[in-house]
Chain A
Amino acid sequence: MTTILGLIVIGLFAYLGTLLFRIPGLPPSLKALIASGLGFFFVGLLLGPYAANLLDPQALKSLDVVVNLGVGWVGLLFGLQFYRRDMLRFPARLYLSAGLQSLFTMLVVGAGMWAVVALSPWAAPVWLTVGILAIISSTTSPTIAEQMIHDTRPRGPITDAVRLVSSVDAVPAIVLLGVLLCFSPLHPEGAGVLGSGWLWVIAACGLGLTLGTLFHLITLYRYTDNQLLVIVLGLTVFCGGAAHYLRLSPLFVNMVVGMMVANRSPQRLRILRSLLGVEKPIYLVLLTLAGAMWAVPPVSLFALVPLFILLRLIGKFVGGYLATTAAGLEFRSTLGMGPGLVPHGGMAVVIALNVKQFFPGAIGDFALSAAIASVLAAAPMGPYALQRLLRQEGETH
């Protein structure tokens, strides 16, 4: 009975979602929410053990491969955008500001959360929990920014800067996640073949470079679009699986693979098209699985989620301002680029899901809760903050 009920609710959701999408003149916040794909997280929640139990824990365990594919896919796609020649079209200070604001945000969120989590009766390593939260907080959603830019058609250097920064500022997050996992209890000091965290970091980089080279070599042949899709699917699962097998971050390893392919492969654009062609379905499946996998974290941690959201906002504003100043970018707004970087989206959820793969207990649930809540909270604010910034800069009306 719950199954049938679940199905009816899901059907209604899907239908209402479609109706909503077709309504002209939707407020930007609702558009941002739809664009974030978060609706599918709630569909997953309905399908999962909390409601219809169509995706029970055993089925979810069997779908590990799909999660790996999804996480790896996002990493690969992210890495592929770092084509050196394309990157050179933008000044280096923009990349510097992207990295700096991301690190500043991590610092603010990390410091704030440390102060609170360290006081709470929390059994897991505090540095790990706080580190993960800081990493999740630092990303910006390029999709929501793009949606807003698409709707209001602003033009100018600030628009370009926000667009670029929001699409590359996940690099520090992915790299730090890769490093953090190497030093986490997944690789106890002295255990295993490599023993030390730094050796695992080198192994992660080496794995990415090796797989990137093999990826490049195998895609040198001529394939039809369908064949290329199959190859890319297989390679993504393999690379993600290899990383997961060694308890390394599939996001990090696949990002390195993507960067290698972007700069080595003559098939770069075809691979990119192939990845983009199924990006949305894979991302939505990933969100659905995230919803089904989510469990309520301990109350003491759940109560910290609002604080996380607040700290992230502060971090983005402060980080945006400091990065703007440090990189010597010229803004009329006193807050610099900060308000344009409020939107939070898919990458945060994917990082949280990656964490949940390795820490299925309270840490994973806390990370996923924080990411989802932050995306939800940023949806109404993000587009307005960005629009306001672009208005102040005179790039839109």
Chain B
Amino acid sequence: MRLLLVSLFFLVMVALGGLHSGIPDDVGARAALVFGFLMLSGFVVGELAAKRQIPRITGYLLAGMACGPSLLALVNWEVIEHLRLVDDLALALIAFTAGAELKTSRLKARARSIASITLVQTTMVFLAVGLILWLLRPLLTFCHGLATAQVVSVVAVLALIATATSPSTAVAVIIEARSKGDITDTVLGTTVLKDIVVLVGFSLVTSMALPHFLEPGVVPVSSVSGVFLEVLLSLGMGAVLGVLMILYLRFVGRRRMLFVVACAFLSIHFSHTFHLDHLLVAVAAGFTVSNFSRQGESFLHGLESAAGPIFLIFFCLAGAGLNLSVFLSVWHIALIFIVLRGLFTWLGTAAGSALAKDPPPVRRLAWTGFIGQAGVSLGLATLARKFLGQPGAYIADLVVGAIVINQIFGPIAFRWALLKSGEGKKEA
């Protein structure tokens, strides 16, 4: 019945489109209308998903995809671009939550496991996916005609992107399932740590790959030391922002949520101004507030209570931004990529977890938390498109195609794992 109501809203939109002809187009107005519809349809589909014990965010993503440019085309690329700031704000708030969820008291107990899984899983996925893609290179049309060094570079970039995961997806599933326990802490800690490792690794790989794609005499723009500095500065800036937030919460304390939104905006502004990673800035800020102040608990509680609308906005927009037509054009290679990535993520996590002598549920189930891929992978794919010419464009399309599937099944698998391990709670 509620889907029927959403259809009525859709009909209203169609009618509005008819009435609008002859009126000059205003992208801001269109964005507001579409954004409202996305929220309503995302909410309804999310609730339907929750009834079937599927994460709400999967529903949000599906609703976003349905409204996106590839299907109903209610949302076009111009509108998505227009809503970028709203999207970034939601992501910053999710990153605050992710950082605030990282409690040192709990992380200390999981530190060995987090380090071990990050190291083993990242290495295994990178090497194994890279090697198999290298062996499959006759099937990869975008490698045809490239020199050996160029093929190695392309495969390495693709393998590196395969190691990336999505902290925002993990934190959304954890909060929705009200999950607490070893798997939860391990996945949360590892996704954040991997974010740093992948960022540095990507820079390392592209700095080696770029010379094979640049015209002779052109100097590559990024360096590994530069990325290290970026990571350090991002963490430092986040810590400073966190201290400012603590001071506000301690001495002013009024209109907390408003202040946190303002800080999210600041973290985006600083990240853009100083070319920092805004996810890391926000995670570090949330971590600082949560671990170094007496207001940490209430801060986290406030963020969690506001999480519903934030996740809805972020994942609906993320879904709308996924290009399904791209997936259809590369689906066969994307499927190979997805299967390889999933397989070695599972093996890598199990091996890393075994090395750290984790309890059996962590060894068996934690890998599901690393399937989801979103912003980080998309960002890396965009960089590949920018720097690696034609093969880079193909990599980007392939990654977007893989994200479509990983982002649908990743949250479902992770939620299932959290429920199975007893850490998560079922939907009432």
B36 at interface, CB cutoff 8 A: yes
The segment from A135-143, A244-252, A257-265, A313-321 found at the interface with B is A244-252
Query: Are A18 and B254 closer than 8 Å at their CB atoms?
Result: yes
B52 at interface, CB cutoff 8 A: no
User: Given the complex of chains A and B, what is the CA–CA distance between A245 and B23 in angstroms?
Assistant: 9
Query: Are B9 and A238 closer than 8 Å at their CB atoms?
Result: yes
The segment from B124-132, B134-142, B161-169, B305-313 found at the interface with A is B305-313
B217 at interface, CB cutoff 8 A: no
Query: Are A14 and B248 closer than 8 Å at their CB atoms?
Result: yes
Q: Which residues of the partner chain A approach B33 to less than 8 Å between Cβ atoms? A: 238, 241-242, 244-245
Contacts A62-B84, A210-B12, A240-B36 given; indicate if A245 touches B43 (C-beta within 8 A).
no
| Chain B: minimal CB distance from A355 (Å) | 15
Query: Are B26 and A244 closer than 8 Å at their CB atoms?
Result: yes
Query: Are A281 and B269 closer than 8 Å at their CB atoms?
Result: no
Beta-carbon contacts of B295-315 to A below 8 Å, as 1s and 0s?
000000000010011001000
Beta-carbon contacts of A7-34 to B below 8 Å, as 1s and 0s?
1000100110010010000000000000
User: Given the complex of chains A and B, what is the CA–CA distance between A18 and B29 in angstroms?
Assistant: 36
Query: Are B265 and A54 closer than 8 Å at their CB atoms?
Result: yes
Q: Which residues of the partner chain B approach A7 to less than 8 Å between Cβ atoms? A: 266
User: Given the complex of chains A and B, what is the CA–CA distance between A155 and B251 in angstroms?
Assistant: 38
Q: Which residues of the partner chain A approach B22 to less than 8 Å between Cβ atoms? A: 191-193
Query: Are A64 and B31 closer than 8 Å at their CB atoms?
Result: yes
Counting chain B residues whose Cβ lies within 8 A of the other chain, the interface size class is 35 or more
| Chain A: minimal CB distance from B321 (Å) | 15
A51 at interface, CB cutoff 8 A: no
Query: Are B269 and A230 closer than 8 Å at their CB atoms?
Result: no
Beta-carbon contacts of A190-212 to B below 8 Å, as 1s and 0s?
01111000000001000000110
User: Given the complex of chains A and B, what is the CA–CA distance between A227 and B28 in angstroms?
Assistant: 26
Q: Which residues of the partner chain A approach B364 to less than 8 Å between Cβ atoms? A: none
The listed residue (A18, A64, A66, A192) touching B23 by CB distance below 8 A is A192
A118 at interface, CB cutoff 8 A: no
Q: Output the nearest chain B residue to A22 by Cβ-Cβ distance.
A: B254
A124 at interface, CB cutoff 8 A: no
Q: Output the nearest chain B residue to A186 by Cβ-Cβ distance.
A: B23
Query: Are A234 and B308 closer than 8 Å at their CB atoms?
Result: no
B275 at interface, CB cutoff 8 A: no
Q: Which residues of the partner chain B approach A247 to less than 8 Å between Cβ atoms? A: 23, 29
User: Given the complex of chains A and B, what is the CA–CA distance between A332 and B370 in angstroms?
Assistant: 75
| Chain A: minimal CB distance from B63 (Å) | 11
User: Given the complex of chains A and B, what is the CA–CA distance between A18 and B259 in angstroms?
Assistant: 13
Q: Output the nearest chain B residue to A40 by Cβ-Cβ distance.
A: B258
User: Given the complex of chains A and B, what is the CA–CA distance between A240 and B30 in angstroms?
Assistant: 11
Beta-carbon contacts of B10-41 to A below 8 Å, as 1s and 0s?
00110010111111001011111111110110
Query: Are A241 and B34 closer than 8 Å at their CB atoms?
Result: yes
> Per DSSP, are chain B's interface residues mostly helix, strand or loop, or mixed?
helix
B326 at interface, CB cutoff 8 A: no
Query: Are B258 and A68 closer than 8 Å at their CB atoms?
Result: no
The segment from A214-222, A293-301, A304-312, A372-380 found at the interface with B is A214-222
Q: Which residues of the partner chain A approach B254 to less than 8 Å between Cβ atoms? A: 18, 21
Beta-carbon contacts of B304-339 to A below 8 Å, as 1s and 0s?
010011001000000000000000000000000000
User: Given the complex of chains A and B, what is the CA–CA distance between A214 and B26 in angstroms?
Assistant: 25
Q: Output the nearest chain B residue to A285 by Cβ-Cβ distance.
A: B258
User: Given the complex of chains A and B, what is the CA–CA distance between A247 and B24 in angstroms?
Assistant: 9
Beta-carbon contacts of B392-404 to A below 8 Å, as 1s and 0s?
0000000000000
A237 at interface, CB cutoff 8 A: yes
Query: Are B258 and A238 closer than 8 Å at their CB atoms?
Result: no
Query: Are B266 and A241 closer than 8 Å at their CB atoms?
Result: no
Q: Output the nearest chain A residue to B22 by Cβ-Cβ distance.
A: A192
B2 at interface, CB cutoff 8 A: yes
| Chain A: minimal CB distance from B32 (Å) | 3
The listed residue (B8, B35, B305) touching A241 by CB distance below 8 A is B35
Query: Are B43 and A230 closer than 8 Å at their CB atoms?
Result: yes
Q: Which residues of the partner chain A approach B26 to less than 8 Å between Cβ atoms? A: 244-245
Q: Which residues of the partner chain A approach B309 to less than 8 Å between Cβ atoms? A: 229-230, 233
Q: Which residues of the partner chain A approach B109 to less than 8 Å between Cβ atoms? A: none
Q: Which residues of the partner chain B approach A120 to less than 8 Å between Cβ atoms? A: none
A334 at interface, CB cutoff 8 A: no
Q: Which residues of the partner chain B approach A11 to less than 8 Å between Cβ atoms? A: 244, 248
User: Given the complex of chains A and B, what is the CA–CA distance between A330 and B35 in angstroms?
Assistant: 50
Q: Output the nearest chain A residue to B43 by Cβ-Cβ distance.
A: A230
Contacts A65-B31, A65-B86, A238-B9 given; indicate if A218 touches B40 (C-beta within 8 A).
yes
B83 at interface, CB cutoff 8 A: yes
The listed residue (B30, B36, B85) touching A59 by CB distance below 8 A is B85
Query: Are A64 and B40 closer than 8 Å at their CB atoms?
Result: no
B5 at interface, CB cutoff 8 A: yes
Q: Which residues of the partner chain A approach B32 to less than 8 Å between Cβ atoms? A: 64-65, 68-69, 237, 240-241, 244-245
Q: Which residues of the partner chain B approach A98 to less than 8 Å between Cβ atoms? A: none
Q: Output the nearest chain A residue to B270 by Cβ-Cβ distance.
A: A3
Contacts A18-B254, A193-B22, A230-B308 given; indicate if A237 touches B36 (C-beta within 8 A).
yes
User: Given the complex of chains A and B, what is the CA–CA distance between A11 and B254 in angstroms?
Assistant: 13
A235 at interface, CB cutoff 8 A: yes
Q: Output the nearest chain B residue to A71 by Cβ-Cβ distance.
A: B32
21 A-B pairs, CB-CB below 8 angstroms?
A7-B266, A14-B252, A54-B265, A59-B85, A61-B28, A62-B84, A64-B32, A193-B19, A214-B8, A217-B5, A221-B2, A226-B308, A231-B43, A233-B39, A236-B36, A244-B26, A244-B28, A244-B29, A281-B257, A284-B255, A285-B258
Chain B residues with CB under 8 Å of chain A are: 2, 5, 8-9, 12-13, 16, 18-23, 26, 28-37, 39-40, 43, 47, 82-86, 244, 248, 251-255, 257-259, 261, 265-266, 269, 273, 305, 308-309, 312
Known: A18-B254, A62-B82. 19 other contacts (CB 8 A): A15-B252, A54-B266, A65-B31, A65-B32, A191-B22, A214-B9, A217-B8, A229-B309, A234-B43, A237-B32, A237-B36, A237-B39, A238-B39, A241-B33, A242-B13, A242-B36, A245-B33, A280-B255, A281-B258
